[in-house]
Amino acid sequence: MFFSPVSSSSPVELTLASKIAAVLVASILLHGFLFHGSAWKSRFYQVPGSNLLAVKVKILTEALCIDCKQFVNGQLSEVYNALGPSVMDLQIVPFGNAKFVHVDGAERGDKPVLQCQHGVAECDGNIYEQCVVMQLYPYAQRYLPFLRCLYDELPMGHSDQLLDRDAIANCSTASDVEWVDIAACHDDEKQVALLQKRAKSQTPSYHKGVPWVEVNGRHVEITDDGASLLRAVCRAFISNGGTHPSCSSSLVV
Ligand SMILES: *[C@@H]1O[C@H](CO)[C@@H](O)[C@H](O)[C@H]1NC(C)=O
């Protein structure tokens, strides 16, 4: 939005506009550097607090669920690519239908154990994803490619084997997130326990399966026409006072 068309400007205005743009870009870069240091590698990001109109979009997922894969790598990615972070404040919560349960034979006072719908592998995958989201939220443009890569690389469905770390490391490299940070988070038991608890608290118990989509706190039914998410996000954005070219088609209004 800073870079509105300047084609009708005189040369003097153009120079002034580019100076202003340069100062803005420099201060944004400096902000990123100061607050995020070396982990800050994004090529494209927003300044926190600058997107007051953005619509809260929360997606409950699981690492090894095929319907989640189809939705995240399909409709969600398309809509996010079209609308971007200034329209969507996208929060993905990889927990889904996991549960803390008391296992048979546990001693009194034993802590409940986390069981994931698709087995141990899924709890493992959810944690890698939670670590990345924790480290990068609200910059979904940075963590979404990592999640997409995992959905492409990991075998979906039930497994009780821990995931292949090479596959995760490769996805980190491919999507420009720091593997050492992800690995350190994943391997820290206390951190993992906190993250799983937090993900559970962000997963409303009334959800009926995954993927589960909420736009500004209201559930949205995802339909096969591929436009349900776009429609819901655009309606909310327009009612916040926003406009976006991808929100002006007859499909949306
Ligand atoms: C990870 O990447 C390396 C180097 O490109 C490749 O040799 C290896 O097979 C990949 N591993 C997995 C599990 O994808």
pLDDT digits (tens, 9 = 90+) for 191-246: 999 999 999 999 999 999 999 999 999 999 998 788 999 999 999 999 989 999 99
Q: Distance (Å, rounded) from C-alpha 94 to C-alpha 196? A: 9
* Residue 137 contacts residue 36 (beta carbons within 8 Å): no
Question: Band of the pLDDT at 168, cuts 50, 70, 90?
Answer: very high
Give Cβ neighbours of residue 15 (< 8 Å, ≥ 6 apart): none
Q: Is the pLDDT of residue 118 over 80?
A: yes
Mean pLDDT of 46-57: 72
Percent above pLDDT 70 for the chain: 78
How many beta carbons lie within 10 A of that of residue 30, not counting itself?
A: 10
State whether the beta carbon of 170 lies less than 6 angstroms from ligand 1. Answer: yes
CA of 172 to the centre of ligand 1 (A): 12
- CA 197 to chain CA centroid, Å, is 18
Task: Compute φ and ψ for 199, nearest 5 degrees.
Answer: -60, -40
Question: Band of the pLDDT at 11, cuts 50, 70, 90?
Answer: very low
Q: Distance (Å, rounded) from C-alpha 249 to C-alpha 112? A: 50
Choose the CATH number for 55-239 among 3.30.300.30, 3.40.30.10, 1.10.274.10, 3.30.1360.80: 3.40.30.10
Residue matched to tokens 């929060």: 91
What are the tokens at 116?
């994931």
Q: Is the pLDDT of residue 49 over 70?
A: no
CA of 155 to the centre of ligand 1 (A): 15
* Residue 103 contacts residue 97 (beta carbons within 8 Å): no
Mean pLDDT of 149-165: 98
Average of per-residue pLDDT values in the chain: 84
Question: Band of the pLDDT at 18, cuts 50, 70, 90?
Answer: low
State whether the beta carbon of 165 lies less than 6 angstroms from ligand 1. Answer: no
* Residue 242 contacts residue 235 (beta carbons within 8 Å): no
Considering only CA atoms, which residue is closest to atom 13 of ligand 1?
167
Per-residue confidence (pLDDT) for residue 104, from 0 to 100: 78
In terms of Cα–Cα distance, which of 80, 93, 71, 48 is closest to 233? 80
Question: Band of the pLDDT at 21, cuts 50, 70, 90?
Answer: low
Q: Distance (Å, rounded) from C-alpha 110 to C-alpha 138? A: 36
State whether the beta carbon of 152 lies less than 6 angstroms from ligand 1. Answer: no
Residue matched to tokens 């319907």: 67
Q: Distance (Å, rounded) from C-alpha 124 to C-alpha 98? A: 12
State whether the beta carbon of 174 lies less than 6 angstroms from ligand 1. Answer: no
The structure's pTM equals 0.80
Residue matched to tokens 């690519």: 81
Question: Band of the pLDDT at 252, cuts 50, 70, 90?
Answer: low
Mean pLDDT of 96-115: 87
CA of 124 to the centre of ligand 1 (A): 19
CA angle 160, 124, 95 (to 5 degrees): 110
Per-residue confidence (pLDDT) for residue 16, from 0 to 100: 53
CA of 170 to the centre of ligand 1 (A): 6
- What sign results for the dihedral spanned by CA atoms 83, 84, 87, 89? positive
Per-residue confidence (pLDDT) for residue 50, from 0 to 100: 56
* Residue 87 contacts residue 244 (beta carbons within 8 Å): yes
Mean pLDDT of 80-100: 96
Question: Band of the pLDDT at 45, cuts 50, 70, 90?
Answer: very low
State whether the beta carbon of 160 lies less than 6 angstroms from ligand 1. Answer: no
